[in-house]
Structure 1
Amino acid sequence: MGNMGTFLLLATEHSELAEGAAEGGFGLNLDLFETNLINLAILVGILFYFGRKVLSNILTERRSNIETAVREAEKRQKEAQIALSQAQEQLTQAQAEAQRIRKAAEESAQAAKEALLAKAAQDVERLQQTAAADLNTERERALAELRQRVAALALQKVESELRTGIADDVQQTIIDRSIAQVGGS
């Protein structure tokens, strides 16, 4: 920008020199159109010189920004690819874990089913044994009751026969024997 100030200073001095010549100074060209063309040519030259540098700096900076943005985009893309591969690996592990859990659950369910079937078979066997024991007990009780009734009926029959036709002393002996037999057995 210092050069721009120098240009303005030169342009100002040039116009002052032109005014001095008009007042009777040096023999400079007083044609206003030519002076403006020279000033314009100098201005265009300076603008072209400095503008090229500024434009070059702007383009260089722009190119640098674009390269940085591209590098950052490539870095983000690599990071995204790494994250994607990690996520895919985690998904694969999760699927394997789910498969393992499902298999373990199926095995556990099968084992529980077999245990329940075995327990049910044991319960049925125990119930059958209990029923058989109860049946045997009931049969023995019925037989004992039947024996008692038969014995009671036999005693009644004997007593009725004794009352009808046997003497009192014989009757007493039979009763005593029957009582002894029933009491002894």
Structure 2
Amino acid sequence: MGIMGTILLLAAENSELAEGAAEGGFGLNIDIFETNLINLAILIGILFYFGRKVLSNILSERQSNIATAIQEAEGRLKEAKIALGQAQEQLTQSQAEAQRIRKAAEENAQKAKEALLAKAAQDVERLKQTAAADLNSETERAIAQLRQLVVAQALEKVETELKSGIADDAQQSLIDRSIAQLGGRV
């Protein structure tokens, strides 16, 4: 008979005793054999003898699992510290790169601003020159129109005087002057 058989036998005897006690009512039983103290002692001894090995195996396995879990956690901690260091280094590099880009953008913006101001100054100067040229051409056109008007009025006056006749002295002096202007001598 194995261990299981012994345990079943003890359990069966224990249940028969319990049924006998239920019939007689409640009372204090001092008989060692009837109270199963020996059976309980044997059962505890068997459990202690066989359970110690099982329990020690379970506890040692549990201890090794915990040690393995601690080692894995420590390894992950080291990896996390390394990753944190790398991330901080990348952050520092990214911040330096962002600062460099910002500085370059500010320099480019300043150059663009200066270029726009220079172009605007050139455009203003060109517009001034164009306006001055337009003003000069308008002035010359106005002067030309005035000359034409004066010439037209002078010709009108001359025609009027010619129609009324020219005195002989005035005709002679006009002819002399015309010849002198042409380069001839009188």
Q: TM-score, normalised by structure 1?
A: 0.64
**Hey, what does 2:161 align to over in structure 1?**
161
Aligned to 2:18: none
Partner residue, 1:59: 59
- Give the alignment of 1:4-43 within 5 angstroms: 4=3, 8=6, 33=33
Partner of 1:146: 146
Q: What is the CA distance between 1:38 and its match in structure 2?
A: 7.1
Q: Alpha-carbon deviation of 1:126? A: 0.7
After superposition, the C-alpha distances for 1:132-176 in whole angstroms (9 at most, x for unaligned) are: 1112212222222222222222212222222223279x5xx97xx
- Alignment gaps of 5+ in structure 2: 10-31
Distance between the aligned counterparts of 2:167 and 2:138, measured in 1? Answer: 42
Instruction: For 1:1-185, list aligned pairs within 5 A.
Output: 4=3, 8=6, 33=33, 44-166=44-166
Give RMSD over aligned pairs: 3.6
Q: Residues 135 and 39 of structure 1: is their aligned pair in 2 closer, same or farther, counting only changes over 3 Å?
A: closer
Partner SS state of residue 85, structure 1:
helix
CA distance in 2, matches of 1:64, 1:104: 59
Instruction: Give me the whole-angstrom Cα distance separating, in 2, the residues matched to 1:148 and 1:44.
Output: 145
Q: 1:40 to 1:117 in 2, by over 3 A?
A: closer
What secondary structure sits across from 1:69 in the alignment?
helix
* Residues 60 and 141 (structure 1), Cα distance of their counterparts in 2 relative to 1, 3 Å cut: same
With over 3 angstroms needed to count, the CA separation of the structure-2 counterparts of 1:49 and 1:146, relative to structure 1, is same
Q: What letter matches 2:152 in structure 1? A: A
Structure 1 window deviating more from structure 2 (159-168 vs 72-81): it is 159-168
In the alignment, the residues of structure 2 paired with residue 153 and residue 39 of structure 1 have an alpha-carbon distance, to the nearest angstrom, of: 158
Structure 2 length-normalised TM: 0.64
Distance 2:156 2:165 in 1: 14
State the 1:119 CA deviation: 0.9
Equivalent pairs, count = 152
Structure 1 residues 118 and 133: alpha-carbon distance in aligned structure 2, compared to 1, 3 A threshold: same
3-state secondary structure, aligned to 2:120? helix
Deviates more, 1:125-134 or 1:90-99: 90-99
TM-aligned CA deviation for residue 86 of structure 1: 2.4
User: CA distance change for structure 1 residues 49 and 155 in 2, over 3 Å: closer, same or farther?
Assistant: same
After TM superposition, where is structure 1 displaced by more than 6 Å over at least 4 residues in a row? Answer: 36-40
CA distance in 2, matches of 1:74, 1:155: 118
Which deviates the most, 124-133 or 42-51? 42-51
> Which stretch of structure 1 is more off in the superposition, 62-71 or 139-148?
139-148
Aligned residue in 2 for 1:20? none
